[in-house]
Structure 1
Amino acid sequence: MYVPAEFEETQIDILHELIQQYPLGILLTHGQSGLDANHLPFELDTEVTELGVLHAHVARKNPVWQEVQDGDEVLVVFRAGDVYISPQWYPSKQEHHQQVPTWNYRVVHAHGKLKIRDDERYVRGVVARLTRTHEAMQAEPWKMSDAPKDYIETMLKAIVGIEIEITKIQGKSKLGQNKEHRDIVGVAHALSTTGQREISKAMYQVAASKN
């Protein structure tokens, strides 16, 4: 990934936080049939290694787990928000008109080595933890025991686990860091008024760091 110095995010805790906030990643593999991309919700374990370990599962009918081998290098891309930026939002544009459209975004690229985990105990644990995490916001969280035992066992047999030990992690936050303070604030305000609050909030933080 091309990362200009002003857009590079190197703090591991921030990169981990973005993965946890935006857990739907794109798993990119290069198996027997060539390149493949699968969109999967991941669980990040930060206790085992410094860079972390990703856990997920795929449908047994998905050929990806048979197209790859243990130890294969893979890439998982996490997109933590993106938005189009109009030149009209820069106050400086009104003076010299030297601004062009762009796109602001935050992404994390996690490179790692893949391991297929085709065992019921592993996939049960992954599903249970993902469910506990993402049901926590519900008034009455669903749990696996809410469903009939034989139904859950059938569903678990229909999935295969995937474990990825992260060996390299890159972060890019393109938030107008190369712009004037007034232009960063101008864009952040415009995004806020149009409902794009995630990138807006991040840009206000960038502006504050320039004061």
Structure 2
Amino acid sequence: MYIPKSFREDDLSVLHPLMQTYSFATLVTQHDGAPYATHLPLTLCPEEGPYGTLIGHMARANPQWRDFDGEREVLAIFQGPHTYVSPSWYTVQPSVPTWNYAAVHAYGVPRIIEDEAELYEALQLLVQTYEEPREQPWKLNGPDDFLCKMMKAIVGFSMPISRLEGKYKLSQNRSPEDQEQVVQQLVVQGEPLDTAVAELMQQRLPNNLEAAGRID
């Protein structure tokens, strides 16, 4: 991923929360000589390995899992909040439109989960992650005939992350005044993505001051 210095983010305490909040990822491999992508939820185990480990599964009918040969690196893309930024919001003119966003790329070599008990634990982790906030969480009961049949129709995998790339493009190349103005306009618009981007900008604004006015 192309990452100008001003937009680069390497802090795991920043990258991991985005991966957990926006966990519906895009998994990209090379399949028969061409790019191949699957959209799927990935569960992050942050304490497993130096960068964490991703756990997921896909339909057995999906040919992508056959690309997991134990050697080739694959890419998981986590897309955070993003929004359009109008040049009319800047104090410095002339200016052009742009897009503010946050994204994380995770690389690793997936391992297919062959053991049924391990696959069941992976499914339990996924269910607990998304059901826990509910007032009456749905529970994944022990493997019965139905669940065993469903499990045979999927392929689980574990992917220790070998490297992470984080890009937080949040107007760091603009002046402090322009950054503040963008935040205010996004808050006024009030759309969920606008608000999320504004919050990220507000969190990082003090760190952006040194980079303001510089384009890498």
**TM-score normalized by structure 1?**
0.91
Partner of 1:78: 78
Partner of 1:204: 202
Tell me, in whole angstroms, the C-alpha distance in 1 between the residues paired with 2:143 and 2:154: 18
Tell me, in whole angstroms, the C-alpha distance in 1 between the residues paired with 2:62 and 2:74: 17
Matches within 5 A, 1:16-27: 16-27=16-27
1:157 to 152, 155, 168: 152
Deviation larger for 29-38 or 49-58: 29-38
Matches within 5 A, 1:1-211: 1-32=1-32, 34-90=34-90, 92-93=91-92, 97-145=93-141, 149-194=144-189, 195=191, 196-209=194-207, 210=209
Q: Indicate conservation of the 8 Å contact 2:52/2:160, yes or no.
A: yes
Tell me, in whole angstroms, the C-alpha distance in 1 between the residues paired with 2:21 and 2:51: 17
Tell me, in whole angstroms, the C-alpha distance in 2 between the residues paired with 1:64 and 1:167: 20
Q: Tell me the CA shift for residue 33 of structure 1.
A: 5.2
Tell me, in whole angstroms, the C-alpha distance in 1 between the residues paired with 2:69 and 2:133: 37
Tell me: CA distance 1:109–1:148, structure 2 relative to 1, closer, same or farther (3 Å): closer
Q: Any runs of at least 4 consecutive aligned residues in structure 1 with deviations exceeding 3 A, and if so which? A: 208-211
Tell me: CA distance 1:32–1:121, structure 2 relative to 1, closer, same or farther (3 Å): farther
**TM-score normalized by structure 2?**
0.89
Q: Tell me the CA shift for residue 47 of structure 1.
A: 2.0
Count of matched residue pairs? 206
Q: Indicate conservation of the 8 Å contact 1:105/1:173, yes or no.
A: yes
Gaps of 5+ in 1: none
Tell me, in whole angstroms, the C-alpha distance in 2 between the residues paired with 1:206 and 1:103: 17
Q: Tell me the CA shift for residue 148 of structure 1.
A: 8.7
Gaps of 5+ in 2: 211-216
Q: Indicate conservation of the 8 Å contact 1:177/1:206, yes or no.
A: no
Q: Tell me the CA shift for residue 208 of structure 1.
A: 3.7
Over the aligned positions, Cα root-mean-square deviation in angstroms equals 1.8
Tell me, in whole angstroms, the C-alpha distance in 2 between the residues paired with 1:171 and 1:2: 10
Q: Tell me the CA shift for residue 68 of structure 1.
A: 3.5
Q: Deviations over 1:98-128 (max 9, x none)?
A: 2110001000011111212233222211111
